[in-house]
Structure formats: structure tokens, C-alpha cells
Structure 1
Amino acid sequence: MTVARTVELEGHIIDSGMMETCFGIIMDMGGSFEVEEFAIGRHKTETSYARLQVEADDEATLQSIVHELHQNGANPADPMDATLEPAPADSVVPPGFYSTTNHPTDVRYDGEWVPVGDIEMDCAVVVETDGEPTARTEVLSAVEAGDLIVTGDAGIRVKPPDRPRGQEGAFGFMQGGISSERPSESTISKIAEAIAETNREDGEVLAVCGPALIHSGAREAFARLVREGYVDMLSIGNGFAVHDLERDLYGTSLGMDTESLDHPRKGHKHHIY
């Protein structure tokens, strides 16, 4: 006996690739679907709409599929209220808290959609229920005991970019073709020459490293430089450590597989978890 749930896609779902992505998610995860309604925008400024009935063999599989569809812009046709749990202590969030993206987000409370203010990535969502309900993002260190934190995926509506270019995923801002965080070959050569010259003069090399070293896949090469004595000291922040731990635990950096450059499902949560 199969279980089913209806989801909706709205926006530039064809030229953005959203619809194709959602179809692939359903089939790759062992589900099936039926298109119940499909309205195509007739002009560039018009949006399209699709209503899908998603089926799976069991509830757990269906929930996993719906979760992934939600991360790619699909929303349940029969949304429930968001699940709220109090923070157990200052700077501590409940297990399974919802980790935000940098896209416009609403949470459902008491049957109404409430926009999340001050949206930014890698935050918790705090809902204030006194008077007119409001929602805001909060960095984890600023969460206070008793704050009502959104957990799980129910009652959350995310609007991804209408027309993303390429397969950038949740951390597309790190994927540009030219970036000061990705040094060119000539710059690397100059750094190598400077290190060699410093060693010849019995000087010491201090490496000031940021998360880009992990994100670019240079972690192992840098570790070799340290082991072989080319680097004497490190100056790093906690961002470097977080990226390094994410790479060890999940094989990703900012949700991106540093070997294949793919964006695994749920990868955007690795960094904050």
C-alpha cells in the first residue's frame, strides 16, 4: 500500500530547472508522481504552476522525498503549522532545528504564513507569539533559553531564486568563475618562491588561512607543507576549523563535495550541524 502527498511548484519552474530537479528527486529516491495540474506562463514575466501527487511505498520514504522537494522550492499543498520547541539554554537550539538558507522564507503559525525577518544563512528561526506573531533569524550564539525555535521542515516555505544559472546549490555565491578567494597559478608560484627564499634565510613562515583553503580542496596539500616543514605557524579563525571538521565528517565544504564538486542532498545543513 502506497502513501501520497500533494506538493506545488510555482515560479519560473521550467527555465530555472526546478521542475526537472524535482522530478529527478522523486524518481531517484524511489517514489513516483502524477502531474495533477500544470499551467505554463505565456510570457517571460509570467510564472508557471505545477501540482504533483507524490507517492512512495512507506511514510518514511515519502517524508524524505518531500523534505528534498521542499529544499528545492516545492511546498506541500496542505501545509501544517511549523513545529516550535523552546531553546533549552542560552546559545543552545533544540535537536532538528531548521537551519535557514539565504532565500526569502515564511513560517506557518496558527494557520497563517509569517515572513521571516532579517533572513540570512545558517541561522535558527525564532517565532514570537505574543501579540501579532513575528519570526526572525537568530545566530545560534544569540539564542536565549526559552526562545521558540522552528524545528523540522513542516510549515516552512522557501522561495529560491527564480532563474538560477547553472547548478550552484545553496552556496552559489562561492561558485563564481573569478574570485579573490581562488588564487591563480602565477600567484601560487610567487608564494612558493617566497617560502623557499624565507627558508634559505632561516626565517619562519606564518600561514594565514581562511575557509577558502578547505573549500578549494587544498587541505591535504597544505597539510603536507606543514608536515614537511615549509610552514612554521598558523593564524586561523574558527571558520577554518568548522570547514575542516565538515570536510572530515561529511566530505563536504559548505555543502559541496570537494572531490566531485556535486552538491549532495541535505548538504547545505552540514556546515551548521
Structure 2
Amino acid sequence: MSDKRQRARVQGSWASRPKPAPREAVGGAAGFAGSTGAPPSRSGLWGDGRQTFEFHQPAKAVKEVPAERVIEKAGDYDISQGPSGVSRLQLLPWFLSQTEADWAFSKLFAELPWSQKTNFKQGQSYEEPRLTCWYGELPYTYSQSTLQPNPQWHPVLSELRGAVERASGRSFNSLLCNLYRDGKDSIAWHSDSEPSLGPQPTIASLSLGDTRCFSLRKQPTPEENGDYTYVERLRIPLSHGTLLLMKGATQEDWQHQVAKEYHDRGPRINLTFRTIYPESPPH
């Protein structure tokens, strides 16, 4: 009997405990300020269907880096048009036949007075990573140093100048010859925009020897503060015997380069025919 009474007292003590409050009331009292114990209102919560959210376009548009375009086929290309005018390229692959290009390359490689020019940048001197020589009646200054002219044109150069003038409909009184000895030789980003070349010059570029990629990039707008990240870019493989004409606003609105290539490349000669004016260019 004593055991039964003890069990009854224990069961009675359990039964006399207050019942726990419903989970909703506890959650409402503890989780939401000002709750009266009633189930919380879902007004203003995600999914109540009464509050709307609007997407606002960012104030600054997201830019994408444009894909580089490749030009390989013969033709005329208007690559841009702006306040300074139309920038135009004319590509003539196989301007010279294989036999003509081979003969011209072998003669010029062996017989021109190639030398390495010293340039200056920010007060420091450096040697150009290529060999050059200059033909014409006037000296040519760029990168704070001057090339003295060879007034007597090599016969092969005279013959090539005549062919280029007939194809372009322009006359040229000067020629910069470049010899890229291998893939490590190069020319950095620049424009042929020296005052002695006059406004909107036509530059005729004839390539002989191994193929090298000629790259162009558009000058950034004033709002881009010299940032070339998002500008248009072009790439043109210039093969043996190819003629490229740069016309109109190309030198004002674009830069070009021949970058280093870290794999086997044979020698390449690039002849850039141009017109030089004595002092102030004609208007």
C-alpha cells in the first residue's frame, strides 16, 4: 500500500504542473517586439503578397571588353567614323607574287644599311628592338631622336615605291624600313602622327618575310581618361608580299603595334612609305 500511495503522490505532482504555453505564443512573445501573445501578423514579411519590390537600373552601365576583330581578306574597311573623320584600311594580300617578294626580301635584307636607333623616353635612353634605315630628302624625328636620310634610294626600293604609288593613287617621298630579326623584335603601341607627316596621312605598309600580326586599338574617349580596357581592337596577319594602306583619320583615332611573339619567327622586313613635309604641313 505504501508503494501505491507514493506513486500516486508522484503522479499528482506531475499533474499539478502548469501546461506549457503553445509554441506560437512563445515564439510571438519572444521573437516580435510589442507582441500581445497572439500569433504574429505576417504583414511586411517575404511572401505575404502585399509588399512589392522594384528593380532599379544601376546608374553606371556595366561595360564589356569588346572581342578583337580579325581582318584577313582583301578589301576596303571603314574601321571607325567620328568627329575627326573616317578611319579606313585597305588590305591587299599577295600584292607581290611569291617570286617577286622572295627576290625583294633577299636583296633588301643583304644590301640595306641597317642600324639600331637609340630613342629616349622620360629622360632614359633605350635601343629600339629592331633595325631601321630611312630614305628620303628630309630627316625624320620620333621618340626624341632623329633619323638622317639616305637620299639615294636603293633600286629595289625605287621599283617598289612605283608599284605602291600606282596601287594607292598617292605619291610618297620618304620610306622607313624596319627589320624584325626574329619574334623578339617588336614595335610598341604608337601612332604615326608626327607634325611632319601632315594631317590625316596615308601610310603604305609593305611586308616581306615571315608573317607577323599587326594590331590596332582605338583611342579612348576623353571620358575614359586614357583607359584602353574597353576600346575596339583589330588584328591583321601581315604575310609575305602583303600591302596595307592606312588612310583618313586612322593615325589620329587609332594606335598600332607589332608585339613580341615568343615562338620561332623568321626575319621580316616592313617598308612604310609616307610623305614628309619640310616644316609646317600644307593646309
TM-score for the superposition, normalised by structure 1: 0.23
Larger relative strand fraction: 2
Larger relative helix fraction: 1
Of structures 1 and 2, the larger Rg is shown by: 2
Query: Relative contact order, CA 8 A, sep 6+: which one is greater?
Result: 2
